[in-house]
């Protein structure tokens, strides 16, 4: 269906009428037509990057309970923010969120800017998040295009270009419905998101229940299940590594704070080798001897965005001071000891929480 055959005002009104009756209740939304707090929108949108709504809900509620305002978040220690983020993954989001809060608190009087250019200057705020804040919080017209909206537009206009190349065409089509229409920009954006999550789903779309199906070329031609088309996925690289779990005679485990840059930056975990595509054991230990009591535990598998990891945990029993002597130079100074029963798995990245579970099953 061509753009010219769709009346954008009718399209919006049909969608909004459905949204008024069927919109989702989410902890970052306000009832009664009130526009959400921009801090809540920013926090939820950053959490929702690469993460499902269901997984985000509890984290969002926990965050705003600990840090009710953006100024409260700015006053937090970064390590506390990343610890509260543990389990959500993509930890650079947490670090950038904290930097964003600092910038707003220190240089903008604790208030989010409305201007898009000013929003884009904030750490961790890209074009999508800036548009979402402007539209959802401040009710400004903005082309807020997430995966749900891309899918809806691909079906409405029967776009045949495979994604990801076809995403730009979907974004251009979405802009057609923005224009300079009066009011309810916030609701329109959220209505599209809800339609994609509830009706126009990736698989088995509920076209019979869709409030805008009469505008949909894919529905008209029986193509909804087939769109959007996607280019074949490349094989995910496989990496391997070894994690060392030192335990001393005081039942303490050796932990490290990872470097400030790179994967799982600044997070707490167990010392490990480099993660390489070749399955070879690289030593963290300077001079492993037969005197060490070593036990290999069950291999842990974990999936990151761009690769899969198989990590072999090695349990090493040794005296506290002697264990520290065996550390590689790169690790010294960033490690500390903690009793196995006092380690909070919820504050560890999921990868290391899996290892801690194995270690506890072995030792406790």
CATH label of the domain that carries residue 77: 1.10.340.30
Q: What is the pLDDT of residue 328?
A: 47
Extract the residue ranges of the chain whose pLDDT is less than 70.
1-4, 32-33, 180, 280-293, 319-333
pLDDT value of residue 272: 86
288-300 pLDDT, tens digit each? 544 566 788 999 9
**To which H or E segment does residue 303 belong?**
strand 300-303
In this prediction, residue 286 carries a pLDDT of: 46
Question: How many independent structural domains does the chain possess?
Answer: 2
Q: 322 CB contacts (<8 Å, ≥6 apart)? A: none
52 with 158, same domain? yes
**20: in domain:** yes
Residue positions annotated with a catalytic role: 45
Q: How far apart are CA 347 and CA 81, in angstroms?
A: 10
The answer to whether residue 52 sits within a structural domain is yes
Please tell me whether residues 253 and 219 are part of one structural domain. no
Tell me if 233 is assigned to some domain: no
* One domain for residues 218 and 244: no
Same domain, 107 and 197: yes
Same domain, 140 and 283: no
**What is the pLDDT, as a whole number, of residue 131?**
95
Residues 105 and 35 both lie in one domain: yes
Among 92, 79, 94, CA closest to 268: 79
Residue 348 sits in the same domain as residue 210: no
Q: Report how far apart the first and last C-alpha atoms of the chain are (Å, whole number).
A: 64
245 in a domain, yes or no?
Answer: yes
pLDDT for residue 329 = 46
pLDDT at 287: 47
- Rounded to an integer, what distance in angstroms lies between the CA atom of residue 120 and that of residue 127? 7
The parent domain of residue 292 ranges over 238-363
Last residue of a domain, one of 166, 195, 226: 226
Q: Are 293 and 316 in contact (CB under 8 A)?
A: yes
pLDDT of residue 83: 87
**Whole-number pLDDT of residue 55:** 92
């Amino acid at each position: 269906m061509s753009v010219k055959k769709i009346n954008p005002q009718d399209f919006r009104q049909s969608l909004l009428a459905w949204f008024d009756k069927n919109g989702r209740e989410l902890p970052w939304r306000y009832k009664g037509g009130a526009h959400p707090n921009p801090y809540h929108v920013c926090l939820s949108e950053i959490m929702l990057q690469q993460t499902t709504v269901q997984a985000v809900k509890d984290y969002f509620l926990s965050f705003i309970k600990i840090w009710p305002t953006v100024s409260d978040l700015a006053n937090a220690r970064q390590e506390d923010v990343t610890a509260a983020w543990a389990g959500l993954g993509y930890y650079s989001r947490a670090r950038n969120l904290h930097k964003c809060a600092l910038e707003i608190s220190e240089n903008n009087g604790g208030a989010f800017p409305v201007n898009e250019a000013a929003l884009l200057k904030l750490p961790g705020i890209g074009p999508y998040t800036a548009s979402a804040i402007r539209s959802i919080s401040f009710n400004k017209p903005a082309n807020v295009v997430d995966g749900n909206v891309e899918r809806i537009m691909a079906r409405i206009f029967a776009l045949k270009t495979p994604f990801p190349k076809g995403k730009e065409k979907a974004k251009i089509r979405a802009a057609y419905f923005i224009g300079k229409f009066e009011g309810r920009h916030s609701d329109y954006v959220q209505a599209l998101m809800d339609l994609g999550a509830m009706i126009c789903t990736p698989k088995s779309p509920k076209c019979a229940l869709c409030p805008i199906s009469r505008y949909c070329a894919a529905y008209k031609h029986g193509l909804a299940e087939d769109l959007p088309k996607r280019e074949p996925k490349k094989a995910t690289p496989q990496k391997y590594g070894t994690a060392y779990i030192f335990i001393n005679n005081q039942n303490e485990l050796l932990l490290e704070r990872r470097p400030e840059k790179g994967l799982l930056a600044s997070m707490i975990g167990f010392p490990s080798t480099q993660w390489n595509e070749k399955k070879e054991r690289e030593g963290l230990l300077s001079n492993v001897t037969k005197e060490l009591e070593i036990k290999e535990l069950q291999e842990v598998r974990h999936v990151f965005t761009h690769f899969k990891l198989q990590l072999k945990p090695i349990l090493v029993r040794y005296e506290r001071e002697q264990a520290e002597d065996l550390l590689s130079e790169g690790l010294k100074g960033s490690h500390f000891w903690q009793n196995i029963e006092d380690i909070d798995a919820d504050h560890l990245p999921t990868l290391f929480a899996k290892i801690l579970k194995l270690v506890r099953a072995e030792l406790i």
